[in-house]
Amino acid sequence: MSSQQTQSRPESDSDDEATPQERRLERKGERARANKRQAESEVDSRSDAEAVRLKVFRYDPDVESKQKPRFDDFTVPYERGMTVLDALIYARDHFDSSLTFRHSCRMAVCGSDGFFVNGQQRLGCQTQISDLDEPIRVEPLPHQSVIKDLVVEMDHFYERMAAVEPYFQPDDLPAGDLEEQLQSHENREQIKMAARCIQCGCCTSSCNPAQTDNKYIGPAAIVKGYRFYMDEREGAEAQERRLELLDKEHGVWQCHTQFSCTTVCPKDIPITEEIQAMKREAIKRNLKFW
């Protein structure tokens, strides 16, 4: 009995000397280790066909041991209908709580979870695990500065979007407070695909000219300009000003018609076609017949 008491005292003294933050971090670590053991047990209890292997890009400039980019391997239990985002969330919640990535609606509407999955720009919440070859390689969007893990800097992308004044600017509003500003069905059909843009940045990440020309506004911004320029309710002055913004060397004329933006768009927007439409509008404006 006395020997057991003697052995237990240093451990008790150590607990008393620990700060509240240290005790909290220790409890957090114990929970994380327990969750990891449970998750590994769940994976081990299933066959290989019911698990999915991920290779996830990791980088953290604020932690010395993580400043060198690397890939971490995760094996998560597979369920029917699982998406890449689902798998990442499981890996974060059960294996490594420091795994960092953006996500929000999980319904392909917010555009926050654009990743480079198996060599192509995709939305994590829209990409089915069953459609991919393993191991599934998940990286941040290329040609963007990486903040941490799968999170990239998007400020320059949003600046490009803002440059085309992406908001409705009519000349006149309806006289009555409850009167609608009507749009024809034909005009709505013309712009409906462009209106589906969720600003995920996948198209701009895939665009070579956008990477070599820092002033090029990029495909997403041109599509946004197309959406408002082609809207029949747009004011004439705003329409002309928006076309001037796009009819520049670093505007529509920097597009090389590679169709990579159209290929990766998660909303199936015919981006390249709409860029060419804006080129035609610019040419028509500059034509003179005298």
Average of per-residue pLDDT across 47-64: 88
Contacts of 37 (CB under 8 A, 6+ apart): none
pLDDT at res. 1 = 43
The whole model's pTM is what? 0.80
Are 144 and 232 members of one domain?
no
Contacts of 24 (CB under 8 A, 6+ apart): none
Q: Which of 127, 151, 175 is the last residue of a domain?
A: 151
Higher pLDDT residue, 150 or 46?
150
pLDDT at res. 39 = 66
Are 226 and 256 members of one domain?
yes
pLDDT at res. 127 = 98
Comparing CA positions, the residue from 117, 116, 115 lying closest to residue 103 is 115
Label residue 32 by pLDDT band (50, 70, 90): confident
Q: What is the CATH number of the domain that holds 123?
A: 3.10.20.30
Q: What is the pLDDT of residues 246-282, one digit of tens each?
A: 999 999 999 999 999 999 999 999 999 999 999 999 9
pLDDT at 8 over 60: no
Label residue 91 by pLDDT band (50, 70, 90): very high
Are 169 and 80 members of one domain?
no
pLDDT at res. 289 = 66
268 domain-assigned: yes
Q: Provide the residue range defining the domain that includes 207.
A: 155-286
Contacts of 49 (CB under 8 A, 6+ apart): 78
> What percentage of the chain has pLDDT greater than the value 70?
89
pLDDT at res. 285 = 86
Do 192 and 213 contact (CB within 8 A), yes or no?
A: no
pLDDT at res. 24 = 77
pLDDT at 114 over 80: yes
Q: Which two tokens stand for residue 79?
A: 């369920």
pLDDT at res. 280 = 96
208 domain-assigned: yes
